[in-house]
Amino acid sequence: MEALKSFEELLDRFVALGQRKKVAIVCPNDDHTEYVVRRCAQENLVDLVLLFDGDESDEFREFCKGFKSITIIKCEDMAAAAREGVRIVHDGEADVLMKGSLTTDVILHAVIDKENNRGLIAPGSVMSHITLVDAPVYHKLLMFSDAAVIPNPTLDQFDSMIRYDSQISRKLGIERPKIALIHFTEKINKRYQVTTDYVELINRASRGEYGDIALAGPMDVKTACDAESAAIKKIGSEVVGDADVLIMPDLEASNTFYKTVSYFGKARMAGLVTGTIAPVVVASRADSAESKFYSLILACLAS
Amino acid sequence: MEALKSFEELLDRFVALGQRKKVAIVCPNDDHTEYVVRRCAQENLVDLVLLFDGDESDEFREFCKGFKSITIIKCEDMAAAAREGVRIVHDGEADVLMKGSLTTDVILHAVIDKENNRGLIAPGSVMSHITLVDAPVYHKLLMFSDAAVIPNPTLDQFDSMIRYDSQISRKLGIERPKIALIHFTEKINKRYQVTTDYVELINRASRGEYGDIALAGPMDVKTACDAESAAIKKIGSEVVGDADVLIMPDLEASNTFYKTVSYFGKARMAGLVTGTIAPVVVASRADSAESKFYSLILACLAS
């Protein structure tokens, strides 16, 4: 199967699979999350459990009552809504957790739930984040990690990112994901720990630890994505100019990539938290309604 | 004066100033550097000293002989050409040094010249790099540091970058440059040294150490450049959404910005080395002919 080219194809794939998924949305009070609810309901894409904290509008509450695919649960406040959303996913009553208008801190506190050990962290697993990019310039969707959770990945954390990104790539239909390890040059240099970590990760890949993937690097973002630039630099590899996934060296680079590709590159973005027992969507305040919608679809495919 | 909007306006400004500058180009043997030479000669923009190492084509050599604005100096090999180019600029016989087809290592070795102390490093100064971006999405030219020289800037190195970027901004006609200090959030956090460095830099700016500038941060790239995103985040400052300059936290982020804005954002790029006694252009192999041309014009304006 060919790699997906756009978010529209992502939605088509989800619909074609015909799997009914249920998504719990905590505090869908902002315009963008309301859009996601309305669109999912009107196009009958998923079942929804909405955790209301009393701050939603009358009009929106009435709208929701008109759909069998929507279940409403009234909660006392934001924190209670977050806890109830997490409980529902923890108990297997929903496949995906999504954040509405509350802050990321509040929902992640419930997701992690150190006090009661009833959160969504899978035992022994590394929590991370993937972003899926639909960029006008690029010939297919592009995934990258980690623009949200891990500031300075260790070798083990890089290892987990590669596993998550490979798993989700396969769910999007890519049998042998091409993964680029990003750094500012192609040189391996002990002064830069990431470059020696990358060597070890490539060794692990060649031993088959990640299944069928093509892993290469270090290389920069342009070499990973632009066949012409890669040709000028005379770097030959299955990955260069055709990456499905970028593993970014740290959060400064990853956040810069996120913000630059979305603003300067007019790309659409979707994302989710990985390493949890179910995908968690924690889109940022500045993300568009469309971005939140496709994050939900991506999470349903990944679940 | 309004900020320049495009590289065409940059060239117009240089021509309007009516200053005759001389540029020494080391080994102009590749197609892109040849384009720069031909265009400068045909449009009579600058005087050129070309350091040939014998690898140039007969046709190009003949072309050069037809222009009074071009002086040719024959050298034994690349390293000799690099040394002679540096000597010419060191002795004040040219205003700008530019690299042709040789590797950056060879030219920087001559620029630094630890052996003879006849290089281009200004005593006690920090060598750094600025890039100027002409991005279709952005409403004016955007400068940033450092995508080439300093991997992990110290406080003093950040200080120097702000000075260089301010000086060059003023030469481009921006009286009060708006400078954004880039980080992945707006929060100041002792765990991230750059954020506390940024606080100190803003203190220095408020004491007037950098002249008339607006300095703000930490903030991410999108907040610095996109007024809409800044408004959603409710961050108010003269800089947000309207930055003239981005100070990047490290080379991983800066290189990622460079590669992403140029490839995904279809931006044109120009750049030069600062902290030297004269601007040095060390464009990369993968840079376009146009990028090399506008780097030369930028360097002439900065000299």
Question: For residue B171, what pLDDT is reported?
Answer: 95
Question: For residue A211, what pLDDT is reported?
Answer: 97
Note which residues in 167-226 of chain A have CB less than 8 A from chain B: 182-184, 191-192, 220-223, 225-226
Q: Which residues of A touch B249 (CB under 8 A)?
A: 252
Confidence of residue B230 (pLDDT cuts 50, 70, 90): confident
B28 touches chain A (CB under 8 A): no
pLDDT single digits (tens) A1-11: 789 999 999 99
Please say if the pLDDT value at position B233 is more than 80.
no
Least confident of A83-87, B171-175, B231-235, B282-286: B231-235
The residue assigned the tokens 């040294």 is B193
Residue type, B69: S
Question: For residue A130, what pLDDT is reported?
Answer: 97
Please say if the pLDDT value at position A236 is more than 90.
no
Please say if the pLDDT value at position B236 is more than 90.
no
pLDDT single digits (tens) A262-276: 999 999 999 999 999
Q: What is the mean pLDDT of residues A28-41?
A: 95
Beta-bridge mates of residue B50: B25, B72
Contact A234, A240 (CB under 8 A): no
Question: For residue B300, what pLDDT is reported?
Answer: 98
Q: Which of B60, B68, B102, B65 is CA-nearest to residue B83?
A: B102
In this complex, which of B135, B184, B286 lies closest to A264 when CB atoms are compared? B135
In this complex, which of A151, A232, A253 lies closest to B256 when CB atoms are compared? A253
Question: For residue B113, what pLDDT is reported?
Answer: 86
Task: State pTM to two decimals.
Answer: 0.95
pLDDT single digits (tens) A105-129: 888 889 988 777 789 998 889 999 9
Question: For residue A14, what pLDDT is reported?
Answer: 97
One DSSP character per residue, A228-245 reads HHHHHTT---SSTT--SE
Q: Which residues of B touch A225 (CB under 8 A)?
A: 263-264
CB contact under 8 A, B221 and A259: yes
Q: What is the mean pLDDT of residues B210-215?
A: 97
Average per-residue pLDDT for chain B: 94
Note which residues in 88-117 of chain A have CB less than 8 A from chain B: none
Fold of B7-121+276-302: Rossmann fold (3.40.50)
Count of CB pairs separated by less than 8 Å, A with B = 114
CB contact under 8 A, A264 and B229: no
In this complex, which of A151, A252, A265 lies closest to B260 when CB atoms are compared? A265
pLDDT single digits (tens) B248-260: 999 999 999 999 9
Higher per-residue pLDDT: B231 or A13:
A13
Q: Which CATH code, of 3.40.1190.20, 3.40.470.10, 3.40.718.10, 3.40.80.10, is assigned to A128-268?
A: 3.40.718.10
Q: What is the mean pLDDT of residues A19-28?
A: 96
Which tokens sit at A236? 């030959």
Q: In what order do the strands lie in the sheet containing A214-219?
A: A70-74, A47-52, A22-26, A96-99, A280-281, A268-274, A128-134, A142-145, A245-247, A178-182, A214-219
* Strands, E assignment, chain B: 22-26, 47-52, 70-74, 96-99, 128-134, 142-145, 178-182, 214-219, 245-247, 268-274, 280-281
Domain boundaries, chain A: 7-121+276-302, 128-268
Average per-residue pLDDT for chain A: 94
Q: Which of B32, B230, B257 is CA-nearest to residue B133?
A: B257
A3 touches chain B (CB under 8 A): no
Beta-bridge mates of residue B48: B23, B70
Q: Which residues of A touch B256 (CB under 8 A)?
A: 182, 184, 220-221, 248, 253, 256-257, 260
Q: Which CATH architecture has domain B129-268?
A: 3-Layer(aba) Sandwich (3.40)
Question: For residue B237, what pLDDT is reported?
Answer: 85
Residue percentage of chain B with pLDDT more than 90:
85
Least confident of A68-72, B156-160, B206-210, B231-235: B231-235
Kindly report the nearest CA distance between residue A148 and chain B, in angstroms. Answer: 9
Residue percentage of chain A with pLDDT more than 90:
85
Question: For residue A216, what pLDDT is reported?
Answer: 96
Please say if the pLDDT value at position A213 is more than 90.
yes
Question: For residue A232, what pLDDT is reported?
Answer: 73
Determine the residue among B240, B256, B287 to mutate to test chain A binding: the one whose Cβ has the most chain A Cβ atoms within 10 Å.
Answer: B256
Question: For residue A228, what pLDDT is reported?
Answer: 85
Helix (H) / strand (E) containing A180? strand A178-182
pLDDT single digits (tens) B60-96: 999 999 999 999 999 999 999 999 999 999 999 999 9
Tell me the C-alpha distance between B23 and B293, whole Å.
Answer: 12
Confidence of residue A47 (pLDDT cuts 50, 70, 90): very high
Tell me the C-alpha distance between B102 and B33, whole Å.
Answer: 11
Helix (H) / strand (E) containing A131? strand A128-134
Q: What is the mean pLDDT of residues A59-83?
A: 95
Beta-bridge mates of residue A133: A142, A269
Q: Which of A254, A255, A233 is CA-nearest to residue A187?
A: A233
CA distances for A249 relative to A63, A152, B100, B240, angstroms:
45, 7, 31, 26
A288 touches chain B (CB under 8 A): no
Confidence of residue B164 (pLDDT cuts 50, 70, 90): very high
Confidence of residue B281 (pLDDT cuts 50, 70, 90): very high
Q: What is the mean pLDDT of residues A130-147?
A: 97
Same fold, B7-121+276-302 and B129-268: no
Please say if the pLDDT value at position B219 is more than 80.
yes
Q: Which residues of B touch A257 (CB under 8 A)?
A: 256, 260
ipTM of the complex: 0.94
